[in-house]
Amino acid sequence: MTHHWAPETVVVETGRPPREHDAALNPPITLTSTFIGTAGIEQGGRQYGRYGNPTWEPFEQALAELEGAALPGLVFASGLAAVTAALTLVEPGGTVIMPRHCYLGALSGAQEAAATGRFRIVTVDIADSAAVQAAMTRAVADAPAGAAGARAGGAAPGDAAESAGSDAPATGRRPVLLWLESPTNPMLEVADLPALIEHARGAGVPTVVDNTFATPLVQRPLELGADVVLHSVTKSLSGHSDVVLGAVATSDPVLRETLHHHRSVTGGIAGPFEVWLALRGLRTLALRVERSQKNALELARRLSARPGIEVRFPGLPDDPGHARAAAQMSGFGSILCIVLPTARAATAVAESVRLWTPATSLGGVESLLERRRRHAQEPHSVPEGLLRLSVGIEHVDDLWADLSGALDVALG
């Protein structure tokens, strides 16, 4: 473990093979479907490729060190596979409290699960702490009397099975789960993470924080008391728009085993080559985050001086989330949004840019933009004319010239 080093050093040095004479500097790719031996995974054996792979382990260790987790992370086939696993931490028939604006895959997946009766969803304005806390209080009060940790002051997540008086293995599942995302996708609302996590812990409600936008270089939710942190590795962690992966990290051994079991039995496993690429991409995370955040702040400043558009970016002093972001983050991220008067104007910008790429996704070295309401499932509370901008590492003057010219075309 390398916790005594700065995160900018950790991304370069973590996950390396032992330093031995003539050893490889980088970990190898292990391509195998099975492993030799008689020990099962309960005895520490790998046994089969669905349970683990040596290529996953350096990345999983790197994520743990960056997020401050006491246990190795878990890599998944996609961000949505990680989301699906994390949603199993609510008991059948329980309640998931989610931001009304968050990663569309998480929101849509949860809504589909809720439609089957798996659990119910309560959506909240995550920036309204009082409303979120009230939703937790109501959900806990409405939970069945015998449910594990269903009352305020319940046991920690890892003690759920014991709280329920069951002889079954502990799973950490609870009747209420709080899903947090800050800043939110795509509205960039900023949650008061310390206050919400503290309230959830007092109510016996486990918390999952999607940290994809901020990255562990800007925000570390586990250090604020969150139970699980989640990433779409596809985005900033890998950083080159060439892999699809997800990951979670936790310091709770019961929660980790529950998530690992879900990955193993449902098969949402990652390919070794993709994980190797993600670790390679992670090496430059600090440089990419530094440059893209600097570009995003400068573009936000220039855009805010332009009439006819609304700019959403927590780095701007007049942004509603600025004070919270400054207090709990070490930067403001590289995602910003602009709201144009109409969907037609926003589409015209996307069709006029030449350096910016009109495409979904974010967090790569290249700058992307898209009109979010082009997705049918995007919440209607997202403005029709909103463009989400994922700012890359190009020269800021080139990005500005291209975007400003496109705005001239769209707005006249």
Q: Is 204 exposed, middle or buried (0-12, 13-18, 19+ CB in 10 A)?
A: buried
The residue count of the chain comes to: 412
Phi/psi of residue 298, nearest 5 degrees? -65, -40
The pairing of strands 335-339 and 246-249 is unpaired
Q: What is the dihedral of CA 318, 321, 326, 327, to 10 degrees?
A: 130
Q: Is residue 103 among the annotated active site residues?
A: yes
Q: Is residue 235 among the annotated active site residues?
A: yes
Report the distance separating Cα 118 and Cα 68, nearest Å.
32
∠ at Cα 359 (296, 298), nearest 5°?
Answer: 10
Nearest residue to 201 via CA among 156, 144, 137, 252: 156
Q: Tokens 């809720």 sit at which residue? A: 114
Which of 50, 100, 120, 294 is the catalytic position? 50
DSSP state of 230: E
- Partners of residue 246 on adjacent β-strands: 76, 232
Report the distance separating Cα 311 and Cα 304, nearest Å.
6
Which of 235, 256, 263, 288 is the catalytic position? 235
Q: In angstroms, what CA-CA distances link 268 with 44, 77, 81?
A: 21, 5, 6
SS3 231: strand
Report the distance separating Cα 270 and Cα 222, nearest Å.
24
Q: Is residue 306 among the annotated active site residues?
A: no
Beta strand segments in 227-334, E: 228-232, 246-249, 310-312
Which of 210, 227, 252, 319 is the catalytic position? 210
Which of 103, 220, 227, 372 is the catalytic position? 103
Q: What is the dihedral of CA 177, 243, 296, 186, to 10 degrees?
A: -40
**Active-site amino acid positions:** 50, 103, 210, 235
